[in-house]
């Protein structure tokens, strides 16, 4: 019941039929009678992401989080931990979600094991592509794995001769 020349939103389509939304009503319509008003831009982004920064203690786990969204289908997500020279470590993963939303905790967090990394300097990177063909670097974070981490404060901070 969409009138002629009305503007509405297409949420899915297969070239013949489309799932449409018009003034709060959802349904299917033939694409033969539709015209594209404007191309959808991808607007790829990541929210609530965690990324290792600074120095991490060797052997200590780190949990990956982040929800990637795009106005277009996300066709590929890849990344993980790389040596600073750009070479991939064994801690990398790739997924082909084919959806407009992808949660890193569902696959990447289980397959990228930070506590398996040796001491050294690394870069954590997440890259995503969508159906526009564009590639987006969503995270690029440098960090160090070291066994020489001190978690407390040492010395005489207040100058009274004590160890406070």
Sign of CA dihedral 92, 140, 65, 120: positive
Residue 83's pLDDT is what? Answer: 97
Please calculate the CA angle 107-14-5 and round it to the nearest 5 degrees. 125
CA 82 to chain centroid, in Å, comes to 16
pLDDT score at 125: 97
Looking at residue 89, its pLDDT comes to 95
Asked if residue 151 has pLDDT above 80, the reply is no
Long-range contacts of residues 149-152, Cβ cutoff 8 Å, at least 24 apart: 149/55, 149/56, 149/57
Predicted local distance difference test score (pLDDT) of residue 161: 66
Q: Is the pLDDT of residue 117 over 60?
A: yes
pLDDT of 155 > 70? The answer is: no
Other C-beta atoms closer than 10 Å to the C-beta of 80 total 23
- Mean pLDDT, the chain, integer: 88
Chain-centroid distance, C-alpha 47: 8
pLDDT band at residue 114 under the 50/70/90 scheme:
very high
Kindly state the average pLDDT of the residues 5-20. 83
pLDDT for 77-105, tens place per residue?
999 999 999 999 999 999 999 999 999 99
């Amino acid at each position: 019941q969409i009138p002629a020349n009305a503007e509405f939103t297409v949420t899915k389509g297969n070239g013949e039929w489309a799932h449409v939304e018009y003034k709060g009503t959802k349904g299917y319509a033939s694409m033969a009678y539709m015209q594209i008003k404007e191309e959808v831009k991808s607007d790829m982004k990541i929210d609530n992401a965690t990324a290792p920064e600074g120095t991490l203690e060797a052997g200590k786990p780190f949990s990956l989080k982040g929800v990637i969204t795009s106005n277009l289908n996300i066709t590929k997500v890849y990344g993980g931990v790389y040596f600073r020279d750009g070479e991939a470590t064994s801690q990398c993963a790739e997924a082909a979600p084919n959806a407009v939303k992808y949660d890193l905790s569902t696959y990447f967090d289980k397959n990228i094991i930070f506590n398996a990394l040796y001491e050294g300097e690394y870069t954590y990177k997440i890259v995503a592509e969508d159906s526009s063909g564009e590639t987006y670097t969503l995270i690029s974070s440098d960090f160090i794995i070291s066994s020489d981490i001190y978690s407390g404060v040492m010395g005489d901070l207040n100058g009274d001769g004590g160890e406070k």
